[in-house]
Amino acid sequence: MGYTFWLTLFTVLLFLRVAGQILVALRAPRWLPPMEQWQSGLLPYPLLVLGQAVVLTVMIWICLDFTRGAGSLIDPRRPQMGQAVVWFSYVYFGGMIVRYIIWMWRRPDQRWLGGTIPIIFHSVVAAFLYSFGRYHISGGQ
């Protein structure tokens, strides 16, 4: 499967996370986890949603460029940028592993998946970045 598939999949997953979080904030349906599972509390909720909207906008823009096969973000002649993005994705994902370990150490009552929605979806963004960077490293292959 090509880069377009993976980038689009990761974008759709993040969109579903944001939509689910907004649904929980507005309606609190029983079939979704409660609000405290959706956010880490580091940012006020309106600022969190704004940040998620910005990230999703950039991800959608990249996916549209990949789908069209044109655009400045898919110029395959940028291997150095790709290396930087892949390196950042490793650091980002590694940070999520550390965050998970600390969360489980501090909150043993929530083992194994309690409070992990933000961690999982930050990892989805890291996977998006990794895929995007690999595309550039490979020269668009």
> Contact at 8 Å (CB) between 107 and 115?
yes
CA distances 116 to 46, 59, 139, Å, are: 20, 22, 35
pLDDT in tens, 43-80: 788 898 899 999 999 999 999 999 998 888 888 788 99
Separation CA 131–CA 110 (nearest Å): 31
> Contact at 8 Å (CB) between 37 and 107?
no
- End-to-end Cα distance, the chain: 12
pLDDT by position in tens, the chain (length 141): 699 999 999 999 999 999 999 998 899 899 888 887 877 767 788 898 899 999 999 999 999 999 998 888 888 788 999 999 999 999 999 999 999 999 899 888 877 777 788 999 999 999 999 999 999 998 877
- 131 CB-near residues (< 8 Å, 6+ apart): 3, 6, 7, 10
